[in-house]
Amino acid sequence: MPSIKAQYAERGSDPHQLIQAVSFDTPEPGPGEVLVDMLAAPINPSDLLTLTGDYGVLPDLPAIGGNEGVGKVSKLGPEVSGLEIGQIVLLPIGCGTWCSHLTAAARDLVPLPGQADPLQLAMLTINPPTAALLLSEVVDLEPGDWVIQNAANSAVGGYLVQLAAERGLKTVNVVRRASAVAAVKQQGGDLVLVDGPDLADQVAKATGKAKIRLAIDAVGGESTERLAACLASGGTVVNYGMMSGDPCQVSPGQLIFRGITLTGFWLASWFRQASQQQQQQLFGDLIGKIAAGKLSAPIAATYPLAQVSAAVLAASQGEREGKILLTAE
C-alpha cells in the first residue's frame, strides 16, 4: 500500500487549494533510523501561515505540511537501540508531519506513554510549551496573581487556563465573540469577557482593580492597546500571534507615562537558547500531565490525510470550538 504525503509546491492566500495528498513509495529506514507510521498531526495557525508564506521561517518548495504530531514505530533500521516496534513516539518538530509514513533518526524521537490518547499527544510540541513558557519566562508571577490573555478560546489559551490554575494564578480571558464565552468558562477560566473599547473598565470592575502585571496577546492590532490599558503601571504585554493580521498597536501614553513594555515570544527562539535539560524537563512535565488527563485541548474534527485540502479549509475558518487534526486513515 503506497504512502501519502500532503505536499505543496507554491504558497498563496488560499492554501487549501495549493496543498494536496500525493502518493509515494514507503521509505526504508537507514542506519540509526526507524520508520514511523503517523497516527495524528494537528493543523496549527503556524502551519497555515507557513502555507500562505507569512511565517517567520519557510521551508524550501516543494514541501510537506505539518510541524508536529505523533506516530508509531513500524520498522527498525540497522544500529537502532532504545526503541521497539509498536512504540508511540513524538515526531521531530518541523519534519513535515502530514505524511502517513516517514523515516527519522532514532535519537530524535521521544518515546511516549502508550496508554495516553494519541490525539492529545499529537498536540504536545507547540501549543502546551508555548502556554507554559508564556506564564514562566516573561514576568515573575506568584500564586494569587491575575494574568490577562486574548484569544482565550484558542488552543494555547485553553492550555494557559489549565496551567495557570495549577500554579494558583487567576485568569482574565478575553474572546472576540459572545458564543465563545461558555467554552472558556468550561475549561476553567476565572473571568471571561468579550473584547471591546470598554475592556479596561470591565476588567477593573470584575477584578476589584487588581494590579495585573502580565498580558498575553495573540491578536495584535487594537487588541494589544486594549490589553495594555488593563495592566498596572510597569506591566508587560507579550505578543505571540497575529490573528488580526494587523501590527501591534500600543499608544505612546502607555509606553511613556505608564511604563508598559511590549515584547514578543516565539517558541523556536526558546528552543534555540534552552539547554537539553531544560527542554527535557519541560516536555517531561507536559507529557505527564497529558497522559494523566490533567491537560487537554478540545478537538473540533479529525480528517484522514487523503482529505488534507478539506481539513486545511476547515482549520482556516473561524468560530471553531477546538483543533482540526489529520489522521493516517
Catalytic residues: 55
CA distance 134 to 160: 8
Helix axes 222-230, 199-207, angle to 10 degrees: 30
Strand partners, 325: 42, 302
| Residue of 146, 154, 109, 150 lying closest to 127 (CA atoms) | 154
CA distance 320 to 116: 25
Report residue 172 as a C-alpha cell: 482574565
Helix (H) / strand (E) containing 37: strand 33-42
Side-chain half-sphere exposure of 4, counting CA atoms within 13 A: 17
| Alpha helices, H only, the chain | 45-52, 118-121, 127-136, 155-166, 181-186, 199-207, 222-230, 252-256, 267-273, 276-291, 308-316
Residue with cell 508536529: 68
Strand partners, 214: 147, 236
CA distance 203 to 215: 12
